[in-house]
Amino acid sequence: MNRRQFLALATLTGLSAACGSSGRPATPAPPAFRTELRIPPLLEPRTARDGTRHFALKIQRGRTELLPGKPTETWGFNGPHLGPTIRAARGDRVRMSVTNRLAEASTVHWHGMRLPARMDGGPHQMIEPGGTWTPHWTIDQPAATSWYHPHPHGETAGHVYRGLAGMFIIDDGDTPELPGEYGVDDVPLILQDRDQAGDADVLGGTFGILGDRMLVNGTYAPFMTVRAERVRFRVLNGSNARRYNLVFGDGRRFHVVGNDAGLLAAPVEVEQVSLSPGERAEVVVTFSAGEQVLLRTVSGGDDIDEGDFDLLKLVAAERLTPSPALPSRLAAPEAIVVPANARVRRFRLNGHDAINGKEMDMSRIDEVVPAGATEIWEVENTVYAHNFHIHEVAFQVLDVDGQKPPPYATGHKDTVYVPPKSTVRLAVRFGGFTDPVTPYMYHCHLLRHEDSGMMGQFVIVEPGTEDRVSRTIAH
């Protein structure tokens, strides 16, 4: 009997999966869900005379009792843990000021944002202790749920695990029919796992952290009072390595309305949604007055999604505000069409520290892409579970081992799960910001893998100048 069959049998017979073949501890007894879910505050911008919206972030240290009775050192933006939600609309000019109050250098990367490479916040835009970085750009992309987190090469896993992560919501002319009142019926859910032993080794083992305690928005065993008939959840997998297979305790069906980089063409009804690290989904769930239901994650049969855990208890009020029906069409960004002569690039994920046999090298440009190109990127995975994230772009998944992705994952994305021993093909649309000397990154978003070298660099250049671009970066 393999592990999956064992778990299936254990579930059927009501046995607890006390001793899986991995030797990991059993799934813990369900906690009481008595702490109210924290909602990250919205970050108020200051609007300058010329209309630019200024957002101020301070990276700081703090102490937080993330797990009961275990206060621990945490890092956060403008607070001791996690960061405020940034919200801006298409067409907004934004200017960030990011001050680093840590004792070590860090960066802030705007994951999912389409912007010039110098503003991207990757490993080439380090902010020294005491320093302030002020990137600015114009938001020009469809409505989406994106996020921000540090990206210092070799240190990202530790910086994110300590708490440096926040959401970045992009609005675009809004779809009024979708629930949209922040914190009421439009609710961010940042999913992260913690190792309750407390001294988690973020770079240990094959995958780094696979914790045994679940946090939502930094809250352990949270409940949320539901006050509207329909709630839109913006779910972000902000974990170092864990993959979530989200279901409701009563098996209810719900609708996915958006992927990482935009809305779907129409809501897709599902009973489960899977998210690997860095991925997002927008889902709409319908409630009846007075009911209670658990949001859970269940084992998926891979190393990075072992274990069943309850995440969040949803408690519907005795009276719910009526919500409009779900629209049958959504404001999806247009499909990415691959031209017949599209360039195909191949990426082989080797072990857990290299792509195409090469470890990340900050001074090497791996790929040169002409501005505005649409290409096919083919990602082949040899052994372990991985995923793949590309900065700056939006892509659509063409196929996974020749099979179409599930309907709920056919929208615009920037991060995709790559199962062991499989090949994922992506239709990738690159933007128009050119800079031959500042690269964007592509990498596995399991942070231990990213840190140990499963990452590469590409530049976007003026079409026709590809051959003239230097393949090394001077520091």
The contact set with Cu ion (CB under 5 A) reads 386, 444, 446, 449
Provide the 3-class DSSP secondary structure of residue 58. strand
Shortest Cβ 72–ligand C2O spacing (Å):
23
Nearer to ligand C2O among residue 111 and residue 345 (C-beta): 111
| Partner from Cu ion, ligand C2O, none binding residue 386, C-beta < 5-8 Å depending on class | Cu ion
User: Which whole-number Å values give the CA distances from 314 to 85, 219, 223, 466, in the listed order?
Assistant: 21, 14, 6, 53
Nearer to ligand C2O among residue 151 and residue 234 (C-beta): 151
d(CA 463, CA 460): 9
| Partner from ligand C2O, Cu ion, none binding residue 446, C-beta < 5-8 Å depending on class | Cu ion
Nearer to ligand C2O among residue 260 and residue 375 (C-beta): 260
| Partner from ligand C2O, Cu ion, none binding residue 391, C-beta < 5-8 Å depending on class | ligand C2O
Residue number of the CB closest to ligand C2O reads: 111
Q: Are 218 and 177 in contact, with CB atoms under 8 Å apart?
A: no
Nearer to ligand C2O among residue 389 and residue 449 (C-beta): 389
Shortest Cβ 410–ligand C2O spacing (Å):
21
Shortest Cβ 34–ligand C2O spacing (Å):
32
Shortest Cβ 144–ligand C2O spacing (Å):
14
Shortest Cβ 450–ligand C2O spacing (Å):
7
CA angle 108, 86, 446 (to 5 degrees): 45
The number of helices, as runs of H, and strands, as runs of E, in the chain is: 3, 33
Nearer to Cu ion among residue 312 and residue 444 (C-beta): 444
Burial, 254: exposed, middle or buried (Cβ in 10 Å; 0-12, 13-18, 19+)? buried
| Partner from ligand C2O, Cu ion, none binding residue 296, C-beta < 5-8 Å depending on class | none
Shortest Cβ 460–Cu ion spacing (Å):
24
- Return the structure tokens found at 164: 């440096």
Shortest Cβ 117–ligand C2O spacing (Å):
12
Q: Are 79 and 85 in contact, with CB atoms under 8 Å apart?
A: no
Task: Compute the Cα dihedral for 365, 367, 372, 378 and give only its sign.
Answer: negative
| Partner from ligand C2O, Cu ion, none binding residue 153, C-beta < 5-8 Å depending on class | none
Maximal C-alpha separation, the chain: 68
Nearer to ligand C2O among residue 228 and residue 369 (C-beta): 369
Report the DSSP pairing between strands 53-67 and 93-100.
Answer: parallel
Helix (H) / strand (E) element for 450: namely helix 447-451
Give CA 291 to chain center in angstroms: 30
Task: Compute the Cα dihedral for 96, 455, 471, 398 and give only its sign.
Answer: negative
Give contact residues for ligand C2O (rule: CB under 6 A). Answer: 109, 111, 149, 151, 278, 389, 391, 441, 443, 445
Nearer to Cu ion among residue 388 and residue 440 (C-beta): 388
